[in-house]
Structure 1
Amino acid sequence: MQPDDRYVSPLASRNASPEMQAIWSPRRKFMTWRQLWIVLAEAEHELGLPVSGEQVAALRGAAEDLDLEAAAAYEKKLRHDVMAHVHAFGDVAPEARGIIHLGATSQFVNCNTELMLIRDALGLVAGKLASAIDRLATFAAEHRSLATLGYTHLQPAQPTTVGKRACLWIQELSIGLAEVEHRLGMLPLRGVKGTTGTQASFLALFRALEGVDEAEAQRRVEALDRLVTEKLGWPADRRLPISGQTYPRVIDGLVASSLGAVAAAAHKMATDLRLLASRKEIEEPFETSQIGSSAMAYKRNPMRSERICGLSRFVIGMIQTPFVTAAEQWMERTLDDSSTRRLTLPEPFLALDGVLELLNNVSAGLVVYPAVIRANLEAELPFMATEEILMAAARRGVDRQDAHEAIRQHSMAAARCVKERGGANDLIERLRGEPLFEGIALEDALDASLFIGRAPEQVDLFIDEVVGPIRERYAGALGHEAELKV
């Protein structure tokens, strides 16, 4: 079979970055297994088990000598992936063969590795998300006062500013970032727990040592769990106090939910951009040689925003399965989680990574068309100015209800002119001929700055209070250069 005859996931070929793919790669996984075996052996040596310093050194010296083909050959024979890699590691560190995986179960390497990969992947997500927030904040500050038509129910509503709307996008993304940071801060390590979580195998090893009584054996088992956790760079107080054979699978669902929160925020922003592009107000970057349509040569399709929406929908859809898997675990563990978790652990990360690559690219190159924004706003502004005109008339002694009825009738007539005949909004001209409004400077009511409230000041405050701390925390991750694939 030729390479092109095999299915290749588009998450790898079209979307996820090399950095995220590396985290979930076979080499990263199996190298982490070896790291765990080395740390376990080192801790066992320090606590007096029959593991020599020379054996630990042998494992360290052979750690990089990873032959995946040899491991695959062992797995084909043994039908067990962990034991296949135990044998492959033993082949390159023969003097330590007998102590590799001493006292451990397969989930010592599987569960701890998965949690370490989740940690690294969450960290990558957080950095890219912070970079997108930073870029959007720069965009928001630049357009803090640019008045634009606001919408509720996708119908024209009170004006806002382009910068204020961008801050709404940032706010949801920052909530997603807080979710990711919270999940990182709560993520535990399984530690050293044994076959069903009782640590019986390790207790037996320490009980067999000469001069070690029961109390000391108990103490050393607890010390082993703590020492391995710390050697892996994990806070000792964030290891699971107890476990079955695996770490609680509900953690996977919580991680997926945090990713889903980011995806939902990205989807919302990209949807808004698609709607704004249809009104020719704001567009995503469009390269000089880019083709929007194979038939309609004039098209500038918002393909980046569309891909953000599509991939985000996939991430959101992946939330359910991890929770169902957690709910259906039997007693201390059942193996029906393994095959599905090979998909539900990496794929939401790979898809969201693609979203964040796109989000960074779009945020860095948004194109604004102020003239179109102004024209669209002015087409609706006469309707919105009527409240100010009504108040001005009342201040001049006109009966409010009479003024309200006159405005209502003229507004309906102007709307019919726009909708039925495709004419311009002539409401102000109609009101100018209305005796009730004589002497009122109607044009003054069309000043858009009268309708945007504190939007510019809200942008300034938001960037200072919300974006500023994010920029400080992620200073080294800002300005991420996204490489997009077709």
Structure 2
Amino acid sequence: MASNYDVYQTSLTSRYCSLEMSKLFSQRSRHSTWRKLWLGLAESEKELGIDTITDEALEQMRARLEVTDEDFEIARVEEKRRRHDVMAHVHAFGVAAPAAAGILHLGATSCFVTDNTELILMQGALDLLTKKIAKVISQLSSFAMEWKAEPTLAYTHLQAAQLITVGKRAAAWVQDLMLDLHSIEQVRNELKFRGAQGTTGTQASFLSIFDEDVSKCQKLNELLCKKFGFPACYDVSTQTYTRKVDLIIANAVAGLGSTAQKITGDIRHLAHWKEIEEPFESSQIGSSAMAYKRNPMRSERVYSLARELLSKPATFANTHADQWCERTLDDSAVRRIDIPEMMLLADAICIGLDNISNGLVVYPKSIAAHVQAELPFMITESIIMKLCAQGVSRQDAHEEIRVLSHQAGSVVKNEGKPNDLITRIKNNDFFKPIWGDLDEMLKADLYIGNSVKIVEDYCGPGGAVEKALAPYSAYIKSSSSVELNV
């Protein structure tokens, strides 16, 4: 008998994502949800006057909602014969609940269970993701507040630019995650049910069951929505709910991928500059050959998973575009792969970001050294302004500082020596009027602008982050630190 090591296992479930997300998209979860839908349909039809559905049938169905290994084997054998997975499981449920065998799936098409189940599972997955994103936001916000006043080089075009603070950069990461949270909350809250719409979305089979009583068809869907926690059904269905819904969800979830890649890309650069590092365990090995290395494997993992997540919307868009008329089955196999994978990827990314954001290490002295290496160049405009205030020609001041700056830059780049611009200025009588101001001008916190206030207003008490995370406060407080599976 083959073991798990003898056959391919998806890395998402075996290595990267949480047990709760893996279980949500398991075959047992999926097919047990089918049974819940069949029960909900039968209960609602009985409530609306279908007398052939007996109490005994409903009781047997309720007793066998969890699909057992034996049920799966019955369904497997039947599907091999019939080449139809839904009818195979109708048969297996009928064997488990014989009193219900004759009324199972009454009036329904396969998409009653398949589509509604996908919506139920995606709703559950989105609920898991929003909580996890909220926790990452909370941790990064705390990090931003802790380091709100620590000056650091900003980089535009990946070249040193005006100073910001460590916390200000983290606040920008937080804002991107907040936008993701909002997008995912929005699609989750706007998610609707397919309900019981019949073979091509006309409800013809249900009209027949209810003797052409349109009000009962409407009531049936109201009952189903209430049972399964949806506000309403989509106004128009074909054989399926429109696959545009999948694309809308994918766009929102994939947005997390771009944010995760941005954040972890920044961390990888900062680790290279020895300014900030992700957590690194005492016994962790960075390289099998280079024992000294501290590779940012967590950020690299998240970055890699994010690349895959970012590819998903294209497939969902193609699937939607290819649904000829009322539906073609070429949406089936691809969605069996892409819907779970999309959610599992996002879950794995959240785990990685949680682990990283809970243990970021900052090296203030290394950061300060980099700041001081560039700061002399950055204060040149202020030097010009101070000279002008004492009556010096602006053009003369600009030319003198330009010449000295280029000389200092040459020393740094061609000789590998420290930036000596300030020494050159102190040795040049042209700048004598501002010599006494130079040491004070080299204090980095003079050049961070409103960084501290920006962080406090956004990430601090009463700020936008605190308000957005209020619904998740209990989860954030009770959730323990996330460790990587491997």
TM-score by length of 1: 0.96
2-side partners of 1:386 and 1:74: how far apart? 80
Shift of 1:187: 1.0
Is the 1:45–1:53 Cα contact (8 Å) retained in structure 2? no
1-side partners of 2:16 and 2:426: how far apart? 57
Deviations 1:375-422 (A, max 9, x none): 011000000011111111111111111111111100000000000001
Question: Is 2:209 aligned against 1:205?
Answer: yes
Q: In structure 1, what is the equivalent of residue 446 of structure 2?
A: 450
1-side partners of 2:302 and 2:480: how far apart? 17
Greater Cα shift, 151-160 or 57-66: 57-66
Note the 1:232-381 alignment, pairs <5 A.
232-236=228-232, 239-381=233-375
Deviations 1:267-294 (A, max 9, x none): 1000000000000000000001100000
Letter in 2 for 1:2: A
> Per the alignment, in what secondary structure is the counterpart of residue 157 of structure 1?
strand
Deviations 1:200-255 (A, max 9, x none): 11111111xxxxxx4xx11111111221111212113xx11220000101111111
Letter in 2 for 1:352: A
| % identity of equivalent residues | 48
Question: Is 2:400 aligned against 1:396?
Answer: no
Q: In structure 2, what is the equivalent of residue 155 of structure 1?
A: 159
Greater Cα shift, 302-311 or 9-18: 9-18
> Per the alignment, in what secondary structure is the counterpart of residue 160 of structure 2?
strand
Letter in 1 for 2:58: V
Matched pairs, number: 476
Q: In structure 1, what is the equivalent of residue 22 of structure 2?
A: 21
2-side partners of 1:11 and 1:246: how far apart? 28
Greater Cα shift, 393-402 or 66-75: 66-75
Q: 2:121 aligns with which of 113, 117, 121?
A: 117
Q: In structure 2, what is the equivalent of residue 386 of structure 1?
A: 380
2-side partners of 1:65 and 1:92: how far apart? 9
> Per the alignment, in what secondary structure is the counterpart of residue 159 of structure 1?
strand
Deviations 1:162-191 (A, max 9, x none): 000000000111111111011101111101
Letter in 2 for 1:385: I
> Per the alignment, in what secondary structure is the counterpart of residue 439 of structure 1?
helix
Question: Is 2:455 aligned against 1:459?
Answer: yes
> Per the alignment, in what secondary structure is the counterpart of residue 152 of structure 2?
strand
Is the 2:305–2:349 Cα contact (8 Å) retained in structure 1? yes
Question: Is 2:225 aligned against 1:229?
Answer: yes
Letter in 2 for 1:387: E
> Per the alignment, in what secondary structure is the counterpart of residue 102 of structure 2?
helix
Is the 2:457–2:463 Cα contact (8 Å) retained in structure 1? yes
Is the 1:128–1:480 Cα contact (8 Å) retained in structure 2? no
Q: In structure 2, what is the equivalent of residue 481 of structure 1?
A: 481
Q: In structure 1, what is the equivalent of residue 79 of structure 2?
A: 75
Is the 1:393–1:436 Cα contact (8 Å) retained in structure 2? no
2-side partners of 1:218 and 1:165: how far apart? 58
Is the 2:309–2:346 Cα contact (8 Å) retained in structure 1? yes
Distance verdict in 2 for CA 1:65–1:403, change over 3 Å = closer
Deviations 1:117-145 (A, max 9, x none): 01111111111000000000111100000
Shift of 1:482: 1.9
> Per the alignment, in what secondary structure is the counterpart of residue 474 of structure 1?
helix
Distance verdict in 2 for CA 1:480–1:127, change over 3 Å = farther
Q: In structure 1, what is the equivalent of residue 194 of structure 2?
A: 190
Q: In structure 2, what is the equivalent of residue 33 of structure 1?
A: 34
2-side partners of 1:90 and 1:182: how far apart? 39
Deviations 1:417-462 (A, max 9, x none): 0000011100011111222221312111111111100101110001
Runs (5+) with no aligned partner, structure 2: none
Question: Is 2:174 aligned against 1:170?
Answer: yes
Question: Is 2:137 aligned against 1:133?
Answer: yes
Q: In structure 1, what is the equivalent of residue 409 of structure 2?
A: 415
CA-atom RMSD in angstroms: 1.1
2-side partners of 1:465 and 1:139: how far apart? 15
2-side partners of 1:6 and 1:123: how far apart? 32
Shift of 1:480: 4.8
2-side partners of 1:388 and 1:65: how far apart? 74
2-side partners of 1:276 and 1:130: how far apart? 24
2-side partners of 1:228 and 1:300: how far apart? 54
Letter in 1 for 2:446: L
Letter in 2 for 1:290: Q
2-side partners of 1:307 and 1:316: how far apart? 14
> Per the alignment, in what secondary structure is the counterpart of residue 172 of structure 1?
helix
1-side partners of 2:245 and 2:484: how far apart? 31
> Per the alignment, in what secondary structure is the counterpart of residue 438 of structure 1?
helix
Is the 1:267–1:308 Cα contact (8 Å) retained in structure 2? yes
Letter in 2 for 1:388: S
1-side partners of 2:393 and 2:320: how far apart? 67
1-side partners of 2:443 and 2:483: how far apart? 43
> Per the alignment, in what secondary structure is the counterpart of residue 136 of structure 1?
helix
2-side partners of 1:65 and 1:300: how far apart? 47
1-side partners of 2:282 and 2:153: how far apart? 29
Shift of 1:147: 0.4
1-side partners of 2:106 and 2:42: how far apart? 8
> Per the alignment, in what secondary structure is the counterpart of residue 99 of structure 1?
coil
2-side partners of 1:231 and 1:79: how far apart? 31
Q: In structure 2, what is the equivalent of residue 211 of structure 1?
A: none
Deviations 1:290-340 (A, max 9, x none): 000000000000000001110000000111011101001011110011011
Is the 1:360–1:480 Cα contact (8 Å) retained in structure 2? no
Runs (5+) with no aligned partner, structure 1: 208-213
2-side partners of 1:421 and 1:12: how far apart? 52
> Per the alignment, in what secondary structure is the counterpart of residue 7 of structure 1?
coil
> Per the alignment, in what secondary structure is the counterpart of residue 62 of structure 2?
helix
2-side partners of 1:450 and 1:233: how far apart? 55
Distance verdict in 2 for CA 1:398–1:111, change over 3 Å = same
> Per the alignment, in what secondary structure is the counterpart of residue 31 of structure 1?
helix
Letter in 1 for 2:464: V
